[in-house]
A and B are shown apart, each in its own frame.
Chain A
């Protein structure tokens, strides 16, 4: 009797659709998963190909590391420089642009620093610097904070060296970065929502990712003042893990997903994915 049940279970497992079509491991960033994008665009792909996509959503750096170790079949990330290094070191092949979203500079409607419509994001920050309205910084070493530091570097504003001794999990390391100084620069060490709320209260400026902004803008008196600068773009690329390095991986499945993401149909679905009536990602295949 017991043996018969066992056989039945084995047969059932063997007949399940997942094992019939095979599985595909996609390492990606939290933004694609948390925004609901993957949940919206992957099911049609799975239905068409019979493949089951396992999404591992972590930070960009960690996603690439998973790819390097051969623990994923492909990666979908946003860090062009790291992606190039990933391909050049022989870990990945066939990098394709998929889409981009962007960062924006928001501020009070009265815009006391006069940055509305500026095309140069760094020049806009230079105009905000030192003004009494102020600028709220995440100050938490996040991707958005890194982008902000990059823009300050380009702005020509006087920056001071900040040295910090970090000891995450005991391993001491000193990090250095350059940040503006003054009572107008508010570094709060908190997340995007907290930063936007404080900017709203203080009628100050803030660099935000568009997704969080769209989710919160109903509660805020702020306005998008600067957008569209190339430096504010946040491009996403998809890369298959090199099958010569890791023969066991599902390379054909990875290429099928890459082809589908960059196809007319896949790109259309990405462009049509909206939160509150506004698109979150702009398709960019072939660019």
Chain B
């Protein structure tokens, strides 16, 4: 037990002292995941809404594919990303492998299906009965869709947060596409995995605490916002 307590003390010392290495690792994690999430939301939310509200042939197949992609293993995305971004791959000339951009691309691919599928579910949840009621009250189809979006906004936000949860703590894509380069692509999960193996137990614990704190923070903000506007 002693070494856990000593590790904890070391972890707090790193956190309180704003250890520069710790800050760099946290900032890599936040920059990469937030950028990936921003683009995943930008593409995923309209995609989910379009699928929910529109009607076109093959819609059910598209929804099934999307739901399947939600379970995409991170290492498979890492492997596919590697084969495209490698110097010998299709996008090789761009020299993206082992950069934060490669990690962003991989995390974008991971987050997109989650954000889209959960947005779809969010909108489907309100659309049927409320939509019919709106039409019966004399709303135009356009007004009906706006009403549905406004009703579903918290669930859509939750979809984006779920996407964040999916990518912020993942390690497969970060390792395979980022490469754990110190000060450049070393993020919280890869640092915990590789540094702890070298005996940097305190750093691993401190980073684990940061990971938890960020998850807590995101949820608190969401809850606060929901409570205020409702």
A interface vs B, CB < 8 Å?
A: 139-141, 164-172, 183, 186-190, 194, 198, 200-203, 221
Contacts and interface: CB of A to CB of B under 8 A. Distances in A.
Contacts of B194: 140, 189-190
B215 to A, nearest CB: 25
Interface string B168-212: 000000000001111110100000001100111111000000000
A170 B203 CA distance: 12
A140 B181 CA distance: 12
A172 B98 contact: no
Contacts of B201: 166-168, 170
Contact of A188 (B3, B180, B202, B203): B180
Contacts of A221: 87
Contact of A165 (B10, B180, B198): B10
Contact of B98 (A165, A183, A198): A198
A172 B6 contact: yes
Nearest to A200: B87
Q: Which interface class (under 10, 10 to 19, 20 to 34, 35 or more) fits B?
A: 20 to 34
Interface string B6-25: 11001001100000000000
A139 B182 contact: yes
B195 A189 contact: yes
Given A186-B184, A201-B86, A168 B199 contact: yes
Contacts of A172: 6, 10, 202
Interface in B78-116: 86-87, 95, 97-98
Contacts of B199: 166-169
B181 A187 contact: yes
A161 to B, nearest CB: 13
Nearest to B193: A189
Contacts of A183: 184
Nearest to A185: B182
B120 to A, nearest CB: 37
B182 A188 contact: yes
A146 to B, nearest CB: 13
B98 A202 contact: yes
B198 A141 contact: yes
Given A167-B201, A171-B3, 10 more contacts: A165-B203, A166-B198, A170-B4, A170-B7, A170-B201, A186-B179, A188-B179, A188-B181, A203-B87, A221-B87
Contacts of A189: 180, 182, 186, 194-195, 198
B3 A170 contact: yes
A8 B14 CA distance: 65
7 contacts: A140-B194, A165-B13, A165-B200, A187-B182, A188-B181, A201-B87, A201-B97
A167 B87 contact: no
A206 to B, nearest CB: 13
A186 B98 CA distance: 10
A221 B88 CA distance: 11
B3 A167 contact: yes
B160 to A, nearest CB: 32
Nearest to A182: B183
A111 B86 CA distance: 20
Nearest to A175: B199
A186 B181 contact: yes
Nearest to A194: B179
Contacts of B95: 202
Shortest 5 CB-CB contacts between residues of A and residues of B: A170-B3, A168-B199, A187-B182, A189-B194, A167-B201
A165 B181 contact: no
Contacts of B86: 201
A148 to B, nearest CB: 14
A181 to B, nearest CB: 9
Contacts of B202: 165, 167, 172
A198 B202 CA distance: 28
Nearest to B86: A201
Given A190-B194, A201-B87, A167 B180 contact: no
A165 B3 CA distance: 14
Nearest to A197: B179
A201 B96 CA distance: 10
Nearest to A167: B201
A186 B200 CA distance: 19
Nearest to A181: B183
Contacts of B98: 186, 198, 201-202
A236 to B, nearest CB: 26
Contacts of A140: 194, 198
A177 to B, nearest CB: 13
B6 A170 contact: yes
A95 B18 CA distance: 50
Nearest to B9: A172
